[in-house]
Structure 1
Amino acid sequence: MGSGYSSAASQTSIAVGPQYDTTHVYVDPEHVDSFAKSFLATFGGSSTNQVIATVTPTPSSTTSQLLQTPVGTVSLFGFKTPIPHPFGLERTGYLVEDMDRAVAAARKAGAAVVVEPFPDPIGRDAVIQWPGGVNMQLYWHTRRPDYPALASVPENRVYVSKDAVGAFLRDFLLFSGGRITSDVGSASGREIGRENGTYRRVRLDSQFGKTTVFVTDGHLPYPYGHEFTGYEVEDLQRTLEKAKASGATVLVQPYHIEERLAAMVEFPGGYIAEIHQIKK
């Protein structure tokens, strides 16, 4: 796309597949059940059994469950204790083939390892940070999971500054083995809640899934920038009706941007998501 960035086509792939990438959702324990019910009613799918576990390297206790839908997966946490820093700041969990190799590759690509690898009840985890302050968790399971492919791959929505975008793109593409699928320097400001003006939007794709990078001046009206994930559905209006019927709130009514019809939704417990339909 004339970006000048190369992925160096990832040595040997680190990623397992986008169906294993999870958005990390932290809600207060009293909202865990209502969030899960609303999210699954909106998108379909099912939840694993809820367990109480320690998922951090220092003492803590949380309910933990995986919500698996055709359009994306959520790791849901309801901490019963204070959340140890820096947990709660990471946006996603990426399943990797080998933890030590993934951490070494992240470092080589320019990421900071902010939480060194540690064991959890079913594997190992680490937290890394990319330029622009973008935190992600890497995870590895002792017994590799086997999940079906998604009906549509969600997008990781990353907001970065003009100062950080060059380093973010260079480093993340090197790590992920990804490629730029579009780079629009004058995208409509409507997509980030501004009626006037333009901004730069970069879309990436890799074996980890889709990433959309919003390069802004940080002058963002609520709720833009609070959402971590964009979910693609077949029928946006029908999906929003399901969301509202299950206790979610539509924060931004549907709007058209290029080929998309999109809206912003807040689920019980405060989790905010972009939901969109691709207009054929």
Structure 2
Amino acid sequence: MKVLRLLIAAALLATPAIAPAQTTSSSNPDFAVGPQYDSTHVYVAPADFDRLMASFIATFGGTTSKQGVFQVTPTTSQTISQVAMTPVGLVSVFGFTTPIPYPFGAERTGYLVTDIDAAVAAARKAGAVRLVETFPDPIGRDVVLQWPGGVTMQFYWHTVKPNYAPLATIPENRIYLTADAADLFVTHWQAFAHAVIVSDDAAAPGSEIGRPEGHYRRISLRSGFGDLTVLVTDGALPWPFGRDMTGYAVADLPATLAKATRAGVETLVPPHREAGRVSTMVRFPGGYIAEIHSTDH
């Protein structure tokens, strides 16, 4: 989103440069720049904005960009905008003081790409459709796309290449789909993002999604855009599963949860072992639900 990208660029201007993802071939390029340039989009009520930002930084560490009220959509609107930049991932937070223009609020992530026109063409060829066609902003351009299964995301591009610090751990984009769309989404995302399937477990324990009586399919992928997990279910999910968009990897889960609790974060799902890690589900002030995990040694 236009002004928001300016805030991020200014806040991280002094961080060391990293090389963008390399082109695989002239006919099949990789448009990713790196997961430290990708953020989860979080929408909250203005009254909850400051509490969310404070609790997120208190939980994970890091800094925030300067807060302001801006128009960040191609049509008339006003929102409080700020970015929380932590070692485990970024969140772009919006507290609209006007009605939110369609289709903003549906996009789950913002991904920096090396060439927005070519990236959009490649994404459309791979099966994505544009919900908002590419529009200009003061420092670059943006577009909102949707993939099979209703997976909506934003691409953005800067006129001057930003230089962001690498993350300590890579966040996990968590996408819940039914079997109707899961394979189609994975195939199309692989074609576009050059994603590699790290694992595909057809009988993952249902306890991981609050259904201990059965199993589900869990597909983990990795690309220059970061980690992505597709949780394939019949769609009948108990609260709060399916409401989480991002999983954050931390070195010490008990210590992180202790900090979160002190910051007013509610634990929705107690820590439990799953797939080689210990995982929990939390809700930040304002309603943002996230998964947090650490490696189970």
| Percent identity of paired positions between Structure 1 and Structure 2 | 57
Please list every run of 5 or more consecutive structure 1 residues that lacks an aligned counterpart in the other structure: 1-7
Aligned partner (choices 196, 202, 206) of residue 219 of structure 2: 202
Aligned partner (choices 77, 90, 94) of residue 94 of structure 2: 77
State whether structure 2 residue 281 is matched by structure 1 residue 250. no
Aligned partner (choices 30, 33, 39) of residue 16 of structure 1: 33
Q: Secondary structure in 1 aligned to 2:181?
A: helix
Q: Secondary structure in 2 aligned to 1:163?
A: coil
Whole-Å separation in 1 of the counterparts to 2:41 and 2:107: 7
Over residues 81-123 of structure 1, what are the superposed CA-to-partner deviations in whole Å (9 max), with x where a residue is unaligned?
A: 1001111011000001111011101101110111100123332
| AA aligned opposite 1:267 | F
Structure 1 moving runs of 4+ over 3 Å: none
Written as runs of structure 1 = structure 2, the 5 A alignment for 1:27-66 is 27-66=44-83
Whole-Å separation in 1 of the counterparts to 2:29 and 2:123: 13
Whole-Å separation in 1 of the counterparts to 2:258 and 2:121: 45
Partner of 2:252: 235
State whether structure 2 residue 132 is matched by structure 1 residue 115. yes
Whole-Å separation in 2 of the counterparts to 1:123 and 1:29: 27
Written as runs of structure 1 = structure 2, the 5 A alignment for 1:166-245 is 166-245=183-262
Over residues 216-266 of structure 1, what are the superposed CA-to-partner deviations in whole Å (9 max), with x where a residue is unaligned?
A: 000100000001000000011110111110011001110111311010000
Q: Is the 8 A contact 2:30 2:194 kept in 1?
A: yes
Whole-Å separation in 1 of the counterparts to 2:121 and 2:94: 28
Whole-Å separation in 2 of the counterparts to 1:119 and 1:266: 34
Q: Is the 8 A contact 2:273 2:296 kept in 1?
A: no
Whole-Å separation in 2 of the counterparts to 1:159 and 1:98: 29
Whole-Å separation in 2 of the counterparts to 1:144 and 1:265: 34
Partner of 1:5: none
Partner of 1:138: 155
TM-score, length basis structure 2: 0.90
Whole-Å separation in 1 of the counterparts to 2:203 and 2:212: 14
TM-score, length basis structure 1: 0.95
Aligned partner (choices 156, 161, 164) of residue 147 of structure 1: 164
Aligned partner (choices 43, 48, 52) of residue 26 of structure 1: 43
State whether structure 2 residue 289 is matched by structure 1 residue 272. yes
Cα gap change, 1:19/1:90 in structure 2, threshold over 3 Å: closer, same or farther? same
Please list every run of 5 or more consecutive structure 2 residues that lacks an aligned counterpart in the other structure: 1-22
